[in-house]
Chain A
């Protein structure tokens, strides 16, 4: 049985905010199904007695003093903005969407 359907991929693409053409959805569903078939092998050895490792080193949170330090100017921070206005990032409308 397929691990992942075309509809699943369409839903995931929506969650990930990536538009996909019908053709891309077809391809992606087949390829992901193959990949998932290969990677689900992890389940063979991942028994409940094994602790997960999220990071290679054991580390705890590191804190620093909350001090004002030199940082980018407004102009520098906005230098790569696709659109700007009044020294701010200008973005498409956020409110008023369904």
Chain B
């Protein structure tokens, strides 16, 4: 019997056997949202009417014998960074409060075409800038494992929705780890595809050379199924790769890593990482070896500069991208008294509409791009980017995939790092290099840390457009871990009740 704890693949199978309907499944999830989201705060907007209408449409198509896609009728939570026609879209910012986009992002068009039911929009750090959702203008999301802790960020809403069974599928965006870090901290699966693998059309841009949309779920196979729905070339995104989508679903069903070389990145396995994180990571390496993989150690000496380079490149691109919020065509306008000029109104609006971290990054980016500092800061950061890519290229000569822990620690307490931007930035130390090089990265739950009982994430990285490799390794490791535990990791998540 399918229920909210089932995987998306199980829900899809039950639908195709007419054991349940999409309307029924959607109602179950809407019920769960009304029961637990008062505590979790994963959603910024729930589209009850729209979701039920979409579900009824899928049910009617199925009843009429029409050919429908594998995930048709399964519900999903959408990160509020993607436009959905007529549905409030804020990117977690006050400057877009009340805005209803007049068009669908490509990812939303693809989800709708596949019959995936969109339940609502999930919370995030404002404009995806943050690692905890504490920068959302609409309040922090709580981690279902421990409501006093952050769920990670920026996509904390999507990850928390999965971990509290409010949706079996979700969409995230990953600029420096915003899919993978929340997945790690909530015991869920998240994938940042190869840059250009999924269209960015209709995604509210943060740092365009790093931003990538990706699938989130509770199992590797579900993530793969969603990946194939949203990926593919789009002429509306000039950086979209015009090549066949990697066969990630087939890879997630392979469950075999015999002879594969797994490269452990020396620099991301030791100093600065919580003992319980390293313990779970090493245990997973042993399981991969037991399944026939070979472990090799690789060195990426320039990764220690990646974080610094990221915090120059991303704010620089953000300062340019966020110039579009000028109060003229959409969004907030403040101070237009008929006397003030356009530029003054613009400045007053941006003061009122942007939060602290967004302002900080706009100013930092403006500084890094200004004449006199450009070469020393932005120019140097771009050179570091070259070095990080070279490190990856060399490492992939020695291994089929690379692995590391996703985060240095498990989920921290709400408020613990919110006054220390540099400490907060360190959360992304292991995820950022992937974005710099445009390769694929997956976060997979690999157990609970002994010292705090909180989830730990295992990161798998694959070369450009070889995303299938990380799914193959991820699915094999997941199967080994679940068989060892005797149950999925989320069986341990506290019951948020509300019954």
Q: Which residues of A contact B247 (CB under 8 A)?
A: none
| Chain A residue, CB-CB nearest to B385 | A53
Q: Which residues of B contact A72 (CB under 8 A)?
A: 102-103
| Chain B residue, CB-CB nearest to A29 | B363
Q: How far is the CA of A92 from the CA of B382 in the complex (A)?
A: 39
| Chain B residue, CB-CB nearest to A50 | B383
Q: Answer whether A94 and B376 are a contact pair too, CB < 8 Å, given A42-B309, A89-B328.
A: no
- Are B364 and A81 within 8 A (Cβ)? no
- Are A28 and B366 within 8 A (Cβ)? no
- Are A53 and B386 within 8 A (Cβ)? yes
Choose among B329, B333, B354, B381 the residue that contacts A42 (Cβ–Cβ < 8 A).
B381
Q: How far is the CA of A77 from the CA of B347 in the complex (A)?
A: 24
Distance from A65 Cβ to chain B, minimum over Cβ atoms (Å): 11
In residues 24-61 of chain A, which contact B (Cβ within 8 Å)? 24, 28, 31-32, 34-36, 38-47, 50-57, 59, 61
Judged by a CB distance under 8 angstroms, whether A87 is at the interface is: no
Q: How far is the CA of A43 from the CA of B329 in the complex (A)?
A: 40
Distance from A76 Cβ to chain B, minimum over Cβ atoms (Å): 4
Distance from A85 Cβ to chain B, minimum over Cβ atoms (Å): 13
Q: Which residues of B contact A50 (CB under 8 A)?
A: 383, 386-387
Q: How far is the CA of A34 from the CA of B386 in the complex (A)?
A: 25
In residues 390-435 of chain B, which contact A (Cβ within 8 Å)? 421-422, 425, 435
Choose among B338, B354, B370 the residue that contacts A15 (Cβ–Cβ < 8 A).
B370
Q: How far is the CA of A76 from the CA of B437 in the complex (A)?
A: 38
Instruction: Identify the stretch in B215-223, B235-243, B285-293 within 8 Å (CB) of chain A at 4 or more residues.
Output: B235-243
Distance from A48 Cβ to chain B, minimum over Cβ atoms (Å): 9
Judged by a CB distance under 8 angstroms, whether B156 is at the interface is: no
Judged by a CB distance under 8 angstroms, whether A86 is at the interface is: no
Distance from B346 Cβ to chain A, minimum over Cβ atoms (Å): 5
Interface hub of A19, A62, A80, A92 (most chain B Cβ within 10 A): A92
| Chain A residue, CB-CB nearest to B351 | A19
Judged by a CB distance under 8 angstroms, whether A91 is at the interface is: yes
Q: How far is the CA of A77 from the CA of B330 in the complex (A)?
A: 9
Q: Answer whether A38 and B330 are a contact pair too, CB < 8 Å, given A17-B343, A18-B354, A31-B360.
A: no
Q: Which residues of B contact A54 (CB under 8 A)?
A: 209, 382, 385
- Are A80 and B341 within 8 A (Cβ)? no
Choose among A16, A57, A79 the residue that contacts B363 (Cβ–Cβ < 8 A).
A16
| Chain A residue, CB-CB nearest to B102 | A76
Q: Answer whether A16 and B330 are a contact pair too, CB < 8 Å, given A57-B438, A72-B103.
A: no
Q: Which residues of A contact B367 (CB under 8 A)?
A: 4, 8, 12, 32, 36
Judged by a CB distance under 8 angstroms, whether B99 is at the interface is: yes
Q: Which residues of A contact B101 (CB under 8 A)?
A: 80
Q: Which residues of A contact B385 (CB under 8 A)?
A: 52-54
| Chain B residue, CB-CB nearest to A42 | B380
- Are A43 and B341 within 8 A (Cβ)? no
Q: Answer whether A42 and B377 are a contact pair too, CB < 8 Å, given A18-B363, A19-B347, A80-B330.
A: yes
Q: Answer whether A82 and B327 are a contact pair too, CB < 8 Å, given A12-B363, A13-B363, A54-B382.
A: yes
- Are A55 and B209 within 8 A (Cβ)? yes
Q: Which residues of B contact A52 (CB under 8 A)?
A: 379, 382-383, 385-386
Q: Answer whether A56 and B351 are a contact pair too, CB < 8 Å, given A16-B319, A34-B422, A96-B341.
A: no
In residues 281-320 of chain B, which contact A (Cβ within 8 Å)? 302, 305, 308-309, 311-312, 319
Q: Answer whether A53 and B380 are a contact pair too, CB < 8 Å, given A19-B351, A82-B336.
A: no
Distance from B359 Cβ to chain A, minimum over Cβ atoms (Å): 6
Distance from A8 Cβ to chain B, minimum over Cβ atoms (Å): 8
Choose among B311, B350, B360, B380 the residue that contacts A43 (Cβ–Cβ < 8 A).
B380
Q: Answer whether A18 and B351 are a contact pair too, CB < 8 Å, given A42-B312, A80-B331.
A: yes
- Are A92 and B336 within 8 A (Cβ)? yes
- Are B360 and A32 within 8 A (Cβ)? yes
Q: Which residues of B contact A34 (CB under 8 A)?
A: 421-422
Q: Which residues of A contact B439 (CB under 8 A)?
A: 56
Q: Answer whether A56 and B235 are a contact pair too, CB < 8 Å, given A16-B362, A20-B359.
A: no
- Are B342 and A35 within 8 A (Cβ)? no
Q: How far is the CA of A64 from the CA of B305 in the complex (A)?
A: 39
Apart from A20-B351, A82-B330, A92-B345, list 7 A-B contacts with CB within 8 A. A8-B367, A15-B366, A16-B350, A46-B379, A54-B209, A57-B196, A57-B438
Write 21 A-B pairs (CB below 8 A) sorted by A numbering: A15-B366, A16-B362, A35-B311, A39-B309, A42-B384, A46-B384, A52-B386, A53-B386, A55-B209, A61-B238, A72-B102, A80-B99, A80-B331, A82-B328, A82-B331, A82-B336, A83-B336, A92-B341, A92-B345, A97-B341, A97-B342
Residues of chain B having any CB pair with chain A under 8 Å: 99-103, 195-196, 209-210, 235, 238-239, 241, 302, 305, 308-309, 311-312, 319, 323, 326-333, 336, 338, 340-348, 350-351, 354, 359-360, 362-364, 366-367, 370, 376-377, 379-387, 389, 421-422, 425, 435-439, 464
Residues of chain A having any CB pair with chain B under 8 Å: 4, 8-9, 12-20, 24, 28, 31-32, 34-36, 38-47, 50-57, 59, 61-62, 64, 72, 76-77, 79-83, 89, 91-94, 96-97
Task: Return the 4 tightest CB-CB contacts between A and B, nearest first.
Answer: A56-B438, A80-B330, A52-B382, A46-B380
